């Protein structure tokens, strides 16, 4: 430990460069991850805010919720299985304000609902993000498929679907707009997930993956994050390899005088740990700051928990990268150092 | 009393399909407290003999008996332990650890030798040895700020601080001028005689021979006996 620190102090520039690279790549990974999570949350906070549970969708819909239909008989059947079941339908649409300005929304209608606001006929509860577009409580809005206007009752936070603000609507109004009395989905909260013939079951995450825009977007962003992790692992390996090559003579002489190879590995691991922890602490702090100053239109979500988990992954990658590059330490022969000359 | 006995030591190097026999059956006895100088032309095998005897290279044949233990039959870890605790080394170059101060170089050697000394004993030993090699004012200096002679004095201090039984010195004065060479040899001799440390030294420096108790001449991988 002492020797590892002594070397860092003696070769400050070398370790500063290594630390700066780890800091930059971990910061980049955390920011991309924050943006990915932010987009994911912006895309589907309606589902993400629900407790863990199971979604049921008609088998014939082949995983596309808007093709699914649960009729009254089916709903009764589901209710006998679980008293906590909630039914919901989601349709992308638009509302028009008094200035005839159109706003995209995701209409959501529910029954047996414990998680979303209850709406009276003619009422509407909107996600608060739509306030930025000039809509306020008490405003009247219209929709081409309804013969009466809807009044904005209130706003709720963090209810978006497919990047659009959710508009919670009474089921009678929903029925008039889309000419169907059926719900698309059933949701049973908790671990209990009874099997029902003719219906596919999905966990919350599996349901999100059925949404084409969500899965494509997340796949791309997650691939970037994975590649950044892989690249950082390679960088760790390459840097420690270069540092170790420069120190072969020193390792050789230390081995010649009887220093254990395990002690040399410990020295390298301690150096990796010190540099990485300092770099990661800075990255976590700055990425949290980025989250605060990020403009509203750029959704960013990086919890301390996920930043800590990513930091742990970086430490593991650093350990693997440095150990792989450090294999050369075990191969160093004392004679190599003696014949190479040195200080 | 013999401390290290070498019997029929052989070493062959392979270069592709060709083989080169460097040591062709060396027999040598080193007695406790004696300084033995190995001399001979370049390529005679003296450095190879020293490094094999010191456990830094493996022999192709023969045996090395150190204090009743056959070094050639021990595994790498056992040999390392002997090197750390019972051997000392001085090389042509000082080979100091670049990121450790003079005092830290000595502390590292004490840690490596795993000596059960108290803090006070360690401190006192370091003080004594620094005084003997006249490096007490450089205790906090790094190797890159020392002259060649100073580095070699630190290397000698590092080689003897853990009180080894044998010191292996491979051309310890080769990189120094004649004045510095004499200083280093006087220091090496006084420190090893004081603690009865056996020394096996390779040298080309004729002036260094006057400090040796015995001189062994090597030629073509064999010891050349007079007459």
Domain boundaries, chain A: 2-44+215-340, 47-210
A28: tokens are: 């980049």
At residue B193's C-alpha, the angle toward residues A253 and B163, to 5°, is 45
Residue B51 forms contact with A (CB below 8 Å): yes
Mean pLDDT across A102-120: 90
Contact A222, A126 (CB under 8 A): no
Label residue A342 by pLDDT band (50, 70, 90): very low
Task: Indicate if the pLDDT at residue A341 is higher than 70.
Answer: no
| CA separation for the pair B100, B152 (Å, rounded) | 15
Contact B97, B46 (CB under 8 A): no
B99 contacts on A by Cβ (under 8 Å): 3, 6-7, 9-11
Over residues B112-123, the pLDDT tens digits come to: 999 888 999 999
Q: Which residue has the higher pLDDT, A71 or B83?
A: B83
A30: tokens are: 């955390």
Mean pLDDT across B176-200: 90
Test A257 with B94 for CB contact under 8 angstroms. no
Contact A26, A285 (CB under 8 A): no
Interface of A with B (CB under 8 A): 3, 6-7, 9-11, 249-250, 253-260, 334-335, 337-338, 341-343
Test A3 with B100 for CB contact under 8 angstroms. yes
**Residue A77, pLDDT score:** 83
Of A221, A224, A223, give the one whose Cα is nearest residue A299: A221
Contact B86, B55 (CB under 8 A): no
Task: Indicate if the pLDDT at residue B227 is higher than 50.
Answer: no
**Residue A173, pLDDT score:** 92
At residue B8's C-alpha, the angle toward residues B6 and B14, to 5°, is 110
Of A175, A177, A150, give the one whose Cα is nearest residue A87: A175
Greatest Cα pair distance, chain B, in angstroms, is: 57
Label residue A70 by pLDDT band (50, 70, 90): confident
Mean pLDDT across A184-203: 87
| CA separation for the pair A185, A88 (Å, rounded) | 5
Task: Indicate if the pLDDT at residue B219 is higher than 80.
Answer: yes
Residue B74 forms contact with A (CB below 8 Å): no
Q: How many CB atoms lie within 10 A of CB A295?
A: 7
Of A42, A34, A37, give the one whose Cα is nearest residue A291: A34
Mean residue pLDDT across chain A: 88
Task: Indicate if the pLDDT at residue A60 is higher than 90.
Answer: no
Task: Indicate if the pLDDT at residue B225 is higher than 80.
Answer: no
Buried b (16+ CB within 10 A) or exposed e, A302-331: beeeebeebbeebeebbbebbbebbeebee
Mean pLDDT across A189-205: 86
Calculate what percentage of chain A has a pLDDT beyond 90: 37
Label residue A340 by pLDDT band (50, 70, 90): low
CB pairs under 8 A between A and B: 67
Contact A210, A32 (CB under 8 A): no
At residue A123's C-alpha, the angle toward residues A117 and A125, to 5°, is 40
Mean pLDDT across B162-180: 89
Mean pLDDT across B42-66: 92
Label residue B64 by pLDDT band (50, 70, 90): very high
Of A176, A110, A182, A108, give the one whose Cα is nearest residue A143: A176
**Residue B25, pLDDT score:** 92
Mean pLDDT across B198-216: 91
Q: How far is A21 from chain B (nearest CA, A)?
A: 23
B95 contacts on A by Cβ (under 8 Å): 249, 253, 256, 337-338, 342-343
Mean residue pLDDT across chain B: 91
A11 contacts on B by Cβ (under 8 Å): 99
| CA separation for the pair A106, A163 (Å, rounded) | 9
Task: Indicate if the pLDDT at residue A4 is higher than 60.
Answer: yes
Q: How many CB atoms lie within 10 A of CB B72?
A: 17
**Residue A240, pLDDT score:** 81
Contact B100, B151 (CB under 8 A): no
Mean pLDDT across B93-102: 91
**Residue B61, pLDDT score:** 94
Mean pLDDT across A143-169: 91
**Residue B106, pLDDT score:** 95
What is the ipTM score, two decimals?
0.86
In chain B the domains, ranked by start, together with CATH numbers, are: 32-59+76-215 (3.40.50.300)
| CA separation for the pair A336, A340 (Å, rounded) | 6
């Amino acid at each position: 430990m002492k020797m590892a620190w002594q070397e860092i102090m003696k070769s400050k520039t070398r370790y500063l460069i290594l630390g700066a690279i780890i800091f930059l790549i971990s910061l980049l990974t955390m920011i991309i991850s924050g943006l990915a999570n932010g987009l994911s949350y912006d895309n589907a906070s309606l589902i993400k805010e629900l407790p863990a549970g199971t979604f049921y969708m008609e088998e014939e819909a082949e995983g596309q919720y808007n093709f699914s239909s649960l009729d009254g008989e089916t709903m009764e059947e589901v209710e006998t299985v679980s008293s906590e079941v909630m039914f919901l339908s989601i349709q992308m649409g638009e509302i028009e304000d008094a200035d005839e300005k159109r706003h995209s929304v995701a209409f959501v209608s529910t029954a047996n609902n414990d998680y979303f606001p209850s709406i009276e006929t003619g009422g509407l509860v909107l996600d608060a993000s739509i306030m930025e577009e000039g809509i306020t409580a008490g405003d009247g809005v219209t929709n081409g498929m309804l013969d009466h206007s809807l009044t904005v009752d209130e706003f709720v936070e963090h209810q978006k679907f497919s990047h659009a603000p959710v508009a919670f609507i009474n089921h009678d109004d929903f029925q008039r707009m889309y000419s169907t009395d059926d719900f698309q989905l059933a949701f049973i909260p908790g671990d209990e997930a009874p099997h029902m013939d003719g219906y596919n079951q999905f966990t919350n995450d599996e349901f999100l993956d059925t949404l084409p825009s969500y899965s494509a977007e997340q796949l791309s962003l997650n691939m970037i994050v994975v590649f950044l992790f892989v690249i950082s692992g390679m960088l760790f390996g390459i840097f420690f390899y270069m540092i170790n090559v420069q120190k072969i003579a020193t390792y050789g002489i230390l081995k010649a005088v009887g220093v254990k190879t395990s002690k040399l590995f410990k020295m390298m691991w301690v150096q990796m740990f010190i540099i990485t922890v300092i770099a990661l602490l800075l990255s976590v702090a700055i990425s949290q700051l980025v989250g605060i100053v990020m403009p509203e239109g750029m959704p960013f979500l990086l919890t301390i928990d996920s930043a800590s988990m990513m930091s742990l992954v970086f430490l593991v990658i650093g350990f693997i990268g440095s150990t792989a590059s450090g294999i050369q330490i075990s191969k160093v022969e004392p004679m190599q150092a003696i014949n190479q000359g040195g200080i | 009393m013999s401390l290290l006995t070498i019997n029929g030591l052989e070493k062959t190097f392979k270069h592709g399909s060709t083989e080169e026999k460097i040591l062709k059956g060396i027999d040598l006895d080193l007695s406790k407290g004696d300084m033995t100088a190995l001399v001979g032309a370049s390529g005679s095998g003296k450095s190879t003999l020293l490094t094999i005897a010191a456990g830094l290279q493996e022999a192709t044949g023969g045996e090395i008996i150190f204090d009743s233990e056959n070094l050639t039959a021990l595994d790498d870890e056992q040999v390392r332990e002997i090197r750390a605790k019972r051997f000392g080394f001085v090389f042509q170059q000082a080979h100091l650890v670049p990121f450790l101060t003079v005092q830290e170089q000595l502390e590292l050697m004490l840690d490596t030798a795993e000596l059960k000394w108290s803090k006070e004993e360690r401190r006192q030993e370091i003080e004594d040895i620094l005084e003997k090699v006249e490096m007490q004012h450089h205790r906090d200096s790094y190797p890159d700020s020392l002259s060649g002679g100073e580095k070699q004095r630190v290397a000698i201090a590092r080689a003897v601080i853990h009180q080894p039984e044998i010191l292996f010195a491979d051309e310890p004065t080769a990189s120094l001028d004649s004045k510095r060479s004499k200083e280093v040899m006087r220091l090496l001799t006084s420190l090893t005689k004081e603690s009865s440390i056996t020394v096996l030294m390779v040298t080309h420096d004729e002036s260094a021979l006057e400090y040796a108790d015995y001189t062994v001449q090597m030629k073509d991988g064999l010891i050349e006996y007079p007459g």
